[in-house]
A and B are shown apart, each in its own frame.
Chain A
Amino acid sequence: AQSVAQPEDQVNVAEGNPLTVKCTYSVSGNPYLFWYVQYPNRGLQFLLKYITGDNLVKGSYGFEAEFNKSQTSFHLKKPSALVSDSALYFCAVRLYSSASKIIFGSGTRLSIRP
């Protein structure tokens, strides 16, 4: 079965420290990978995507993600966390062979303490 997993329900980081939010996927074929963020009482916003090319992708708000094909992972990272980064983060995968299926992970709640 094709799926995407976010193994951590919650990640807690001190402000100024680096953060990582993990995502692994299981799909056949070449995936398109995405990260979205959901701030409290706001809609989901696109952060970044990997389609092809450089495995390190840079996105909005200083976030970046690294595509690792051998480990089937697409972890979200930021060198220095801000309190304002506290939100719910979703990893998603679109199957290259499918026009429609975009599968979302269960989400990881990121909490940055001052």
Chain B
Amino acid sequence: GAGVSQSPSNKVTEKGKDVELRCDPISGHTALYWYRQSLGQGLEFLIYFQGNSAPDKSGLPSDRFSAERTGGSVSTLTIQRTQQEDSAVYLCASSSGGDSHYEQYFGPGTRLTVT
């Protein structure tokens, strides 16, 4: 595809359930980021993948959050035992190095609602 895609676009789940959010980055982009955006707020960095390097997990808010990136492409963000405060829009972005100097391309996001 031409851009970053994310699925599902909307997810409603009950408190305590696990959820998986998927991100398909732009083909060839080596860097992938996950952010969280609460209603009307700024972007909170969650995790970063770059090629085959160990991911930077410093933004994950708790050990209930984890992410994987398989084959250097698709990424899945997993939230275990969801809480109401996890409700937010989860954004994925990808970028390439070189001349683009880490300009990020964002997906449309997944809106997570925990009831």
Contacts and interface: CB of A to CB of B under 8 A. Distances in A.
Interface of A: 32, 34, 36, 42-46, 49, 51, 90, 94, 99-107
Which of B40, B50, B91, B102 is most buried by chain A, counting CB atoms within 10 A of its CB? B102
Contacts, number: 54
A103 B45 contact: yes
5 contacts: A36-B106, A42-B108, A44-B106, A46-B105, A99-B56
Contacts of B105: 46
A81 B53 CA distance: 43
A43 B107 contact: yes
Interface of B: 4, 33, 35, 40-43, 45, 48, 50, 53, 56, 91, 93, 101-109
A113 B102 CA distance: 34
Contact of B108 (A34, A43, A90, A94): A43
A46 B56 contact: no
B102 A90 contact: no
A106 B93 CA distance: 18
